[in-house]
Chain A
Amino acid sequence: MVTNLETSQQIDDAGIDLETKTLLEMYWQMVRARRLDERTWVLHRQGKIAFHISGIGHEGVQVGAAMALRRGYDYAHLYYRDLAFALVLGYTPREWMLSVFGKEGEPTSGARQMPSHWSNKKQGIMPASSPVATQVPQAAGMALASKLRGEDRVTLVSLGEGSTSEGDFYEGLNWAGVHKLPMICLVENNIYAISVPMHLQMAVPNVADRAPMFGIEGVVVDGNDVLASYRAIKEALERARSGGGPTLVEAKTYRPVPHSSDDDDRTYRSRDEVEEWKKRDAIKRFETYLLDKGILSGDMIEEIEGRVRLEVDEAQAAAEAAPYPPAENALFPVYAPADEA
Chain B
Amino acid sequence: MADTPITIREALSAALREEMRRDERVFIMGEEVGVWGGTYAVTRGFLDEFGEKRVRDTPIAEMVIAGAATGAAMAGLRPVAEIMTINFAFLALDAIINHAAKVRYMFNGQFTVPLVVRTTTGGGKQLGATHSHAPEVIFAHFPGLYVAVPGTAYDAKGMLKAAIRDDNPVLFVEHSTMLQRRSPVPDDLDFTLPIGKSDVKRQGDDVTIVTYQKGLEWSMAAAEQLAKEGIEVEIIDLRWLRPLDLEPVFESFKKTNRCVIVEESLPHFNVGAEISAQLQEHMFDYMDAPIKRVSAMDIPLPYSRELELMALPSADKVVAAVKEVLGG
Contact = CB atoms under 8 A, between A and B. Distances in A.
Partners in one complex: yes
Interface of A: 50-51, 102-103, 106, 109, 111-114, 117, 129-133, 162-163, 165-167, 193-196, 200-202, 267-268, 324-325, 327, 329-332, 334
B164 to A, nearest CB: 24
Contacts of A202: 59
Contacts of B300: 112, 334
Contacts of A200: 57-59
12 contacts: A50-B125, A51-B126, A102-B303, A112-B128, A131-B87, A165-B61, A193-B60, A196-B32, A200-B59, A327-B306, A327-B307, A329-B302
B87 to A, nearest CB: 7
A117 B88 CA distance: 17
B311 interface: yes
B135 to A, nearest CB: 13
A331 B299 contact: yes
A268 B61 contact: no
B130 interface: yes
Nearest to B305: A102
A57 to B, nearest CB: 20
A132 B84 CA distance: 12
B131 interface: yes
B9 to A, nearest CB: 15
Contact of A131 (B36, B64, B91): B91
Contacts of A51: 126-127
Nearest to A129: B130
A194 B297 CA distance: 33
A269 B129 CA distance: 32
A162 B59 contact: yes
Interface string B30-43: 01101111000000
Q: Which 6 A-B pairs have the closest CB atoms?
A: A165-B59, A102-B304, A111-B304, A195-B36, A130-B130, A112-B302
Interface of B: 31-32, 34-37, 57-64, 87-88, 90-91, 125-131, 297-300, 302-307, 310-311
Given A131-B130, A200-B57, A109 B303 contact: yes
Nearest to A269: B35
B310 A330 contact: yes
B36 A194 contact: yes
A158 to B, nearest CB: 15
Q: Which of B88, B300, B302 has the most CB of A within 10 A?
A: B302
Contacts of A132: 60
A133 B59 CA distance: 13
A111 B306 CA distance: 10
B94 to A, nearest CB: 10
A165 B35 contact: no
Given A112-B128, A112-B302, 10 more contacts: A102-B304, A109-B303, A114-B303, A166-B63, A194-B36, A196-B36, A324-B306, A329-B304, A330-B311, A334-B299
Given A112-B300, A114-B127, A166 B307 contact: no
A330 B302 contact: yes
A325 B36 contact: no
Contacts of A324: 304-306
A102 B125 CA distance: 13
A165 B30 CA distance: 13
B138 to A, nearest CB: 16
B307 A163 contact: no
Contacts of A112: 128-129, 300, 302-304, 307
Contact of A167 (B61, B128, B130): B61
B122 to A, nearest CB: 15
A303 B124 CA distance: 43
Nearest to A50: B126
A166 B91 contact: yes
B177 to A, nearest CB: 13
A261 B321 CA distance: 38
Nearest to A265: B36
A112 B311 CA distance: 11
B32 A195 contact: yes
A211 B5 CA distance: 54
A131 B92 CA distance: 12
Contacts of A111: 302-304, 307
Nearest to A201: B59
B59 A325 contact: no
A113 B129 contact: yes
A218 to B, nearest CB: 19
A111 B34 CA distance: 35
A329 B129 CA distance: 14
B92 to A, nearest CB: 10
Contacts of B128: 112-114, 117, 130
A163 B31 CA distance: 12
B133 to A, nearest CB: 12
A268 B37 CA distance: 11
A165 B64 contact: yes
A191 B305 CA distance: 34
Contacts of B130: 129-131
B35 A267 contact: yes
By CB atoms of chain B within 10 A, which of A102, A109, A162 has the most? A102
Contacts of A334: 298-300
A51 B125 CA distance: 10
A325 B307 contact: yes
Nearest to A193: B60
Contacts of A268: 35-36
